[in-house]
Amino acid sequence: MPDIIANMAGTIFKVLVQVEDKVEPGQDVIILESMKMEIPIQAETAGTVTEVKVEEGEFVNEGGVLVVLE
């Protein structure tokens, strides 16, 4: 199962997917806020969301798992 991970530390600004959503490569799944900038986190592969591991407002470290795809 491919994981979508945070490419930098920051706060989850917006979660754009939920469990059972289908995603395509390049699709925005999370908006991360870091240094007052909104950074879109995208799916690298197609798949179905099986788990969203973060909530809006939560702080994540670089490398943290955000979304699990099947």
Q: What CATH number is given to the structural domain containing 22?
A: 2.40.50.100
Classify residue 66: in a domain, yes or no.
Answer: no
Classify residue 67: in a domain, yes or no.
Answer: no
| pLDDT at res. 2 | 84
Q: Which two tokens stand for residue 6?
A: 């945070």
> What mean pLDDT do residues 7-33 have?
97
- pLDDT class of 29 with cuts at 50, 70, 90: very high
Distance CA 12, CA 14 (A): 6
Classify residue 8: in a domain, yes or no.
Answer: yes
> What mean pLDDT do residues 8-17 have?
97
Question: At which residue do the structure tokens 């994981």 appear?
Answer: 3
pLDDT above 80 for 1 = no
Classify residue 49: in a domain, yes or no.
Answer: yes
* Domain around 33: 3-60
Number of domains present in the structure of the chain: 1
pTM of the model: 0.90
Classify residue 10: in a domain, yes or no.
Answer: yes
Cα distances from 37 to residues 14, 40, 51, 62, in angstroms, run: 13, 10, 26, 16
Distance CA 59, CA 55 (A): 9
> What mean pLDDT do residues 43-70 have?
96
The answer to whether 31 and 60 have CB atoms below 8 angstroms apart is no
